[in-house]
Structure 1
Amino acid sequence: MKLGVFTVLFSDKKLEDMLDFVAAKGIEAVELGTGGYPGDAHCKVDELLADETKQREFLDKIGSRGLTISALSCHSNPLHPQKQISEEADALFNKTVLLAGKLGVAVVNTFSGCPGDHEEAKYPNWPIAPWPNDFQEILKWQWEEKIIPYWKEKAAFADQHQVKIGLELHGGFSVHTPATLLRLREACGPAIGANLDPSHLWWQGIDPVEAIKVLGREKAIHHFHAKDTIIDQPNMNRNGLTDMTSYTDMRNRAWYFRTVGFGHEPKVWADIISTLRLYGYDDVISIEHEDGLMSIEEGFTKAIQNLLPVIVKDSVGDMWWT
Structure 2
Amino acid sequence: MKLGVFTVLFSDKSLEDMLDHVASKGIEAVELGTGGYPGDAHCKVDELLADEKAREDFLEKISSRGLIISALSCHANPLHPQKHISKEADELFEKTVKLASLLGVPVVNTFSGCPGDHEDAKHPNWPVAAWPNDFQEILKWQWEEKIIPYWKEKAAFAEKHNIKIGLELHGGFSVHTPGNLLRLREACGPAIGANLDPSHMWWQGIDPVESIKILGREGAIHHFHAKDTIIDQGNVNRNGLVDMTPYTDMKDRAWYFRTVGFGHDTKVWADMISALRLYGYDYVVSIEHEDGLMSIDEGFTKAVENLKPVMVKESVGEMWWA
CA distance in 2, matches of 1:197, 1:32: 16
**Structure 2 match to 1:286:** 286
User: What amino acid maps onto 2:146 in structure 1?
Assistant: K
Structure 1 residue 315 displacement after superposition: 2.0
Aligned to 1:236: 236
CA distance in 2, matches of 1:316, 1:78: 41
| C-alpha displacement of 1:137 | 0.3
Q: Which amino acid is 2:61 matched to?
A: K
- The equivalences for 1:213-224 within 5 A come to 213-224=213-224
Q: CA deviation at 1:316?
A: 1.3
Aligned residue type for 1:9: L
Distance in 2 (alpha carbons) for counterparts of 1:57 and 1:306: 33
Which aligned pairs between 1:51-200 and structure 2 lie closer than 5 A? Answer: 51-200=51-200
Residues 70-116 of structure 1, C-alpha deviations (whole Å, 9 max, x = no match): 00000000000000100000000000000000000000000000000
1:203 is matched with which residue?
203
Deviating 4+ runs (over 2 angstroms): none
- Separation of aligned partners in 2, 1:315 and 1:15: 32
- Match of 1:25? 25
Please, what TM-score do these two structures have when normalized by structure 1? 1.00
Q: Equivalents in 2 of 1:64, 1:318: separation in Å?
A: 33
**3-state SS in 2 of match to 1:69:** strand
Q: Aligned equivalents of 1:211 and 1:20: distance in 2?
A: 34
Unaligned regions of 5+ residues in structure 1, if any?
A: none
| Deviation sequence 1:279-309 (CA, Å, 0-9, x none) | 0111100000000000000000000000011
Distance apart, 1:46 and its partner CA: 0.1
User: Residue in 2 aligned with 1:303?
Assistant: 303
SS of the aligned residue for 2:310 comes to: coil
Q: Deviations over 1:135-164 (max 9, x none)?
A: 000000000000000000000000000000
In structure 1, C-alpha distance between the alignment counterparts of 2:152 and 2:165, rounded to whole Å: 11
The aligned amino acid for 1:288 is E
Opposite residue 26 of structure 1, the aligned amino acid is G
TM-score, scaled relative to structure 2: 1.00
Structure 2 match to 1:258 = 258
1:248, distance to aligned residue in structure 2 (A): 0.3
Gaps of 5+ in 2: none
Aligned residues: 322
**How far, CA to CA, are the matches of 1:265 and 1:62 in structure 2?**
32
Equivalent residues in 2 for 1:5-20, closer than 5 Å? 5-20=5-20
Equivalents in 1 of 2:285, 2:211: separation in Å? 16
Looking at structure 1, the residues matched to 193 and 183 of structure 2 have their Cα atoms a distance apart, in angstroms, of 11
- Between the aligned partners of 1:90 and 1:316, the Cα distance in structure 2 is 42
**Whole-angstrom distance in 2 between the partners of 1:22 and 1:266:** 22
Give matches, 1:259-274, under 5 Å.
259-274=259-274
What's the Cα RMSD here? 0.4
Render the CA deviation track for 1:25-78: whole Å, top value 9, x for unaligned.
000000000000000000000000000010111000000000000000000000
Distance in structure 1 (CA, Å) of the matches to 2:101 and 2:305? 33
